[in-house]
Structure 1
């Protein structure tokens, strides 16, 4: 997990919380700040790479956390939160020193989703209890990742495409349709069939087998949900022969006028020349499918919202 904080605002609390997280998850699994980046590494790439592999981003917010620095696109804290939203991972605000959650109006557009996240209050008088709540929140995310995928998710991957669309329908309507896997053949014209391979409502660990129509030929692949953060983010890993090939990250945000803006990023897995080949193939096909999928999702959502 990734711990985000301002040194001038909450270094002491962040340090104690870091110790609590390390006690539970181990030092190698907790990233605290730029001190963890090796000399000579590209700073932005290191943050992006670390957050992309994180199970959760913990944002420690003190009384002076909300400053004009958030308006600067190069502000480290802003960059960390934006990257977390981009990758669709869970964002957990932690309030210290009687700080209050910022409102959406206090934040840049790119960070406004933070205002809707449930926060944990961390007080000095009951630190152990409150820190335990943070640890439990992280456990619910990290420990629920499918066990057989944890090692594969560390494989090299590259961003193949990034598409987005405004949908004239409320966030909850779009989210409900996005996770209604059984209706996929009805909503998306390229989906021939979808068979659920797991029981229960949609969530982390949900598995399904999807058959896509490609130039008249049905191509099937399995998929598993690895991030499920309603109604903001959904991450699905596509599998062939049990190995990950593509990571699809859907991120939703409320837009002006009661609309929703949804993005879909596609990451290709592989190594060496295979990674480049997978990325090129994903950009050629999966990007087209994602654009068409978002357009058809918009049609159904907008009809339902009328």
Structure 2
């Protein structure tokens, strides 16, 4: 059972500035109000293989999830960029894809988020059918807030 949502935020900044914000994992806890803390697990520049632990407060609970960049294409002149971030937590496979596209002197940042239950049981299928839509609404609201905060930071650079 797969749940997916996609949101786009137009940002009045060039793709390289948006990328600088999206790829600043160590600074994301200070920039995004939804993140409580970040613990880097790898060193070096942002790219495929970058790993960290991210702690967020969702639905009144603090959750720490290990995340990693599985695919990364930084933007180049005339071409947007993209990054795919993965996480496995509680029997679910989470995928977040950030795609940058230059438009109207700025950048459209599209965030596509998906959650798929790995080896679903009968009970997990029922739980996802009942609670999945609510969870995705809550997730969509959190992602929209993240995108607005990314936009504000990129536009201030």
Give, in whole Å, the separation in 2 of the partners of 1:191 and 1:215: 13
Q: CA shift at 1:158, angstroms?
A: 2.6
Question: Gaps spanning 5+ residues in structure 2: where?
Answer: 76-80
The structure number with the bigger radius of gyration is 1
Partner of 2:114: 267
Structure-2 change in CA distance of 1:303 and 1:224 (3 Å): same
Give, in whole Å, the separation in 1 of the partners of 2:61 and 2:132: 22
Question: Residue 98 of structure 2: which of 250, 271, 281 is its match?
Answer: 250
Give, in whole Å, the separation in 1 of the partners of 2:49 and 2:133: 28
**If each structure's helix is expressed as a fraction of its own residues, which one has the higher value?**
1
Q: CA shift at 1:239, angstroms?
A: 2.0
Give, in whole Å, the separation in 2 of the partners of 1:237 and 1:282: 18
Partner of 2:156: 303
Normalised by the length of structure 2, the TM-score is 0.83
Question: Residue 287 of structure 1: which of 140, 144, 149 is its match?
Answer: 140
Q: CA shift at 1:214, angstroms?
A: 2.6
Q: CA shift at 1:177, angstroms?
A: 0.6
Aligned residues: 146
* Greater relative contact order, per chain length (Cα 8 Å cut-off, separation 6+): 2
Is 1:240 paired with 2:89? yes
Q: Aligned with 1:202: secondary structure?
A: coil
Q: Aligned with 2:27: secondary structure?
A: helix
How does 1:126-141 map onto structure 2 within 5 Å? none
Q: CA shift at 1:272, angstroms?
A: 6.1
How does 1:38-57 map onto structure 2 within 5 Å? none
Q: Is the 8 A contact 1:165 1:294 kept in 2?
A: yes
Structure-2 change in CA distance of 1:215 and 1:297 (3 Å): same
Structure-2 change in CA distance of 1:158 and 1:216 (3 Å): closer
Give, in whole Å, the separation in 1 of the partners of 2:112 and 2:148: 15
Partner of 2:20: 176
Normalised by the length of structure 1, the TM-score is 0.44
Q: CA shift at 1:160, angstroms?
A: 1.9
Q: Is the 8 A contact 1:250 1:265 kept in 2?
A: yes
Q: Deviations over 1:48-82 (max 9, x none)?
A: xxxxxxxxxxxxxxxxxxxxxxxxxxxxxxxxxxx
CA RMSD in angstroms comes to: 2.1
